[in-house]
Structure 1
Amino acid sequence: MNRTVRQPLDDSASRRCFDSAAGPGERLPSRGNVRRRPSGAGTGRTFVRINQRIGRRGRFATAIAVAAVAALALSGCARDTGGGGGTAQGGECERVAPPSVPAASAQPAPEKPKADASPLKVGLAYDIGGRGDASFNDAAAAGLDRAVAELGLQKANTREATAQQGESEDAGTNRLRQLAQGGFDPIIAVGFNYATGVGTVAKEFPQTQFAIVDDDTVDLPNVTPLVFAEEQGSFLVGAAAALKTAACKVGFVGGVDNPLIQKFEAGYEQGATAVAPDVQVDASYISPAGDFSGFNDATRGTEIASGQYDSGSDISFAAAGQSNQGVFAAAQTAQKKAIGVDSDQYNSPQLTEVRDTIMTSMIKRVDVAVYDYVNAVAGNTVDQLPERFDLKNDGVGYSLSGGQVDDIRPQLEAYKAAIIAGQIQVTSTK
């Protein structure tokens, strides 16, 4: 049962963190403080949500408080020396020991045999930004490139098309139709914005195979959903943030306040509070549900992340597409850290000037999904693809580039093993 009360913000000078643990198969408690700002909020009044797990059956008490922006600078508990290399003023931020999992119970799924994709003509329809966005679309492009390199797919037999900012839904449908008319089979649509178009064109071309990334609403025999356990990968970078924070306060910047991006926030919070149960998570979104400009607004990304850093967060996880570039710029200016998303953003050529601010990225292996799908079509094994791409099948993860999380890798791998083994169950909602 949820109880909702309104109360003033607690602006005490320090908080004492407390321990928590989850037994086998148990959902991790969420006992940290979660500040969730409305989409586009930057001034005025701010909503603050505090979740606390009460019982084994998952009852929650939820306190929602409203306060002026002047109260944003809540004092968090200071971190200890267990993995972050720094101290802060305030109380001690205790960290929970990572779980111990037998190695045999945490083995990833074996890699599928490689099929011959040379007869295929593959069409790839990108979301806004296309190849070169240093994020979501680039991951899809990497999967196509890998299929060319490893499966014999001929580059000349591929075609890539990109959505444009502000285009109509019909434009996406026509893009898919043109690929189908050109004889491309399979056709891969990158992003849930193509759901209507895939549903329409797949009916028009029932002998053509389609796949769609991030959507499972199209129920047709020639359509394969490629969906992910974003919450699992986000759990790991949330754990990394809690291990590294010197302020016991971290941020989250989502591009659009919709269920997909809320999965990133939910996993991030669960991972952070699994490590440091009283860590504060300051969550904000660039645009509300239905307004997809939040994925392509670096200026707002900078503004929101700067506000988080100014109010005490020292690490922010950005799940905002091209808007991530603005978050990284804010981190560089504030001399703080950020966490990337979708691809290994530390290695993105477009982000060379800010890459030292990127301590890790939550890798959503769209490249693996695209590659595996092409391989499955070539081998006539589409029905053997996983229902979702998760930690066990290398569908999500975290990056090590730059070496900034090397010192906490054993802890992160322990949490990863516990999730794969089922000892920790990460939920997709808070």
Structure 2
Amino acid sequence: MKSRILSAVAVSLLLVLTLFSVGIPANAQTDKPVVGFVTGAGGLGDMSFNDNAYGGLRRAQQELGFSLNVLEADATGTAPADKVEALVEQCDILVLLGAQHTHHAREYAPKHPDKKFIFYEEKVAGIPNLASIMFRQQDGSFLAGALAGRVSRTRKIAFLGGTYVAPVAAFAQGFLEGVKEVAPDVTVDIHYITPPGDFSGFSNPDRAYAMAEEMFANGVDIIFAVAGLSGNGVIEAARRTEGRYVIGVDSDQDDMAAGKVLTSMVKRLDVATYLQVYRAVTGNFKPGVTDFGLADNAVTLTDMRHTRNIITEPVIEEVNALRLKIISGEIVVTDLRP
């Protein structure tokens, strides 16, 4: 699985220049620096968070021809400080994926003002050579929750996160609020695979499968899995269980169990990574916090192509109406991100 990169990511990258106003000069030149990439928990091959970001990075590499060094998180879900420090020494640009690497971003960017740092999932402001990339996942999760609330037949839904960390908690909160917006009678159980501080919860699909199997047996019919590689275990449990469904995350995971993945709450890490690395390599680096959301299609549900038999057109129209209300500010989803 480690060598597999989502084909959906490659296809979706063709849309990159239509999603954001990128401001990249057509004739930009580069001296081909070295780019380092530190993955999040689970590493490459998760068919979700890491593969999505890596797809954007690879497209930038193919267009610009820079060297790329990859450091995968270890079994704990984090990258050891000594290995990160060694990678920083080797690279001109460093991409750090995942909130567990906040301390690396805060430590190494000020120590190396001549290098560019791109960091995801938590706000790190005030460092002139660091770009902090955020996504309003709570807004997309609200829509996923509204969809689940309308579709659930057992009136019991669950959220399964890798571990409690602010970006994942934002997913959970948005999902809960979306369910309650349309179906206040539906029960929403929130679970995490590992306790706070243990990022191995994002790389344990067997444990996630067992937890999902138990939830399904207890009457839950839809699980929103925000757990990286572990989410694949939830998808497999849904595939094997009659009348049970899952909502995918980060990448378009609808094809992984066609008809059992209601939709996926996609975060365009591919687009953000491509854009930020391209800018850094071509001399257009923009430090500070950038927040991507529904308005620029950086957070979105999939088209539910395999589940239209159970998701009716009125439900889709309602979800689209809720999307517009969030964009306009008529609905404000709680933001738990620091």
Give the counterpart of 1:418 among 306, 325, 336: 325
Supply the RMSD in Å over aligned alpha carbons: 2.5
- The letter of the residue matching 1:367 is D
Indicate yes or no: 2:181 matched with 1:274. yes
Structure 2 residue matching 1:425: 3-state secondary structure? coil
Indicate yes or no: 2:295 matched with 1:392. yes
Q: Paired residue for 1:153?
A: 64
Structure 2 residue matching 1:128: 3-state secondary structure? coil
TM-superposition CA deviations, 1:230-287 (whole Å, max 9, x none): 1011111111111211222211111112332111110001111112222211221111
Say if 1:160 and 1:329 are closer, same or farther in 2 by CA, change over 3 A: same
Say if 1:421 and 1:294 are closer, same or farther in 2 by CA, change over 3 A: same
Q: How does 1:294-333 map to 2 (within 5 A)?
A: 294-333=201-240
TM-superposition CA deviations, 1:312-369 (whole Å, max 9, x none): 221110011111122112212222110011111224xxx4xx3432111111221122
Q: Paired residue for 1:180?
A: 88
Structure 2 residue matching 1:132: 3-state secondary structure? coil
Q: Paired residue for 2:39?
A: 126
Q: Do the aligned residues in 2 keep the contact of 1:120 with 1:186 (CA within 8 Å)?
A: no
Q: How does 1:332-411 map to 2 (within 5 A)?
A: 332-335=239-242, 336-347=244-255, 351=256, 354-378=257-281, 380-383=283-286, 387-400=290-303, 402-405=305-308, 407=313, 408-411=315-318
Distance (Å, rounded) in 2 between the aligned partners of 1:355 and 1:253: 20
Relative to total residues, which structure has the larger helix share, 1 or 2?
2
Q: Paired residue for 1:284?
A: 191
Say if 1:239 and 1:117 are closer, same or farther in 2 by CA, change over 3 A: farther
TM-score, structure 1 as length reference: 0.67
Q: Return the offset for 1:429.
A: 4.4
Say if 1:236 and 1:158 are closer, same or farther in 2 by CA, change over 3 A: same
Gaps of 5+ in 1: 1-107
- The letter of the residue matching 2:88 is A
Q: Return the offset for 1:189.
A: 0.6
Say if 1:111 and 1:385 are closer, same or farther in 2 by CA, change over 3 A: farther
Distance (Å, rounded) in 1 between the aligned partners of 2:328 and 2:289: 17
TM-superposition CA deviations, 1:131-188 (whole Å, max 9, x none): 2111110111111133245xx321x522222121138x7x533333333322x33211
Q: How does 1:88-237 map to 2 (within 5 A)?
A: 111-115=21-25, 116=28, 118-121=30-33, 122-148=35-61, 152-154=63-65, 156-166=66-76, 172-182=80-90, 184-217=91-124, 219-237=126-144
Distance (Å, rounded) in 1 between the aligned partners of 2:96 and 2:152: 38
Q: Return the offset for 1:120.
A: 4.2
Distance (Å, rounded) in 2 between the aligned partners of 1:385 and 1:379: 18
Distance (Å, rounded) in 2 between the aligned partners of 1:279 and 1:326: 24
Q: Do the aligned residues in 1 keep the contact of 2:265 with 2:300 (CA within 8 Å)?
A: yes
Structure 2 residue matching 1:207: 3-state secondary structure? coil
- The letter of the residue matching 2:178 is G
- The letter of the residue matching 1:165 is A
Q: Paired residue for 2:3?
A: none
TM-superposition CA deviations, 1:377-424 (whole Å, max 9, x none): 245444487631111222211112543257343222221111111111
Q: Return the offset for 1:113.
A: 3.1
Say if 1:390 and 1:384 are closer, same or farther in 2 by CA, change over 3 A: farther
Distance (Å, rounded) in 1 between the aligned partners of 2:258 and 2:71: 28
Q: Which moved more, 1:108-117 or 1:257-266?
A: 108-117
Q: Which moved more, 1:171-180 or 1:223-232?
A: 171-180
Number of equivalenced pairs: 312
Q: Return the offset for 1:290.
A: 1.1
Distance (Å, rounded) in 1 between the aligned partners of 2:30 and 2:44: 23
Distance (Å, rounded) in 1 between the aligned partners of 2:303 and 2:95: 29
Distance (Å, rounded) in 1 between the aligned partners of 2:176 and 2:188: 7
TM-score, structure 2 as length reference: 0.83
Say if 1:131 and 1:299 are closer, same or farther in 2 by CA, change over 3 A: closer
Gaps of 5+ in 2: 1-17
Indicate yes or no: 2:158 matched with 1:251. yes
- The letter of the residue matching 2:298 is G
- The letter of the residue matching 2:209 is T
Q: Return the offset for 1:375.
A: 3.2
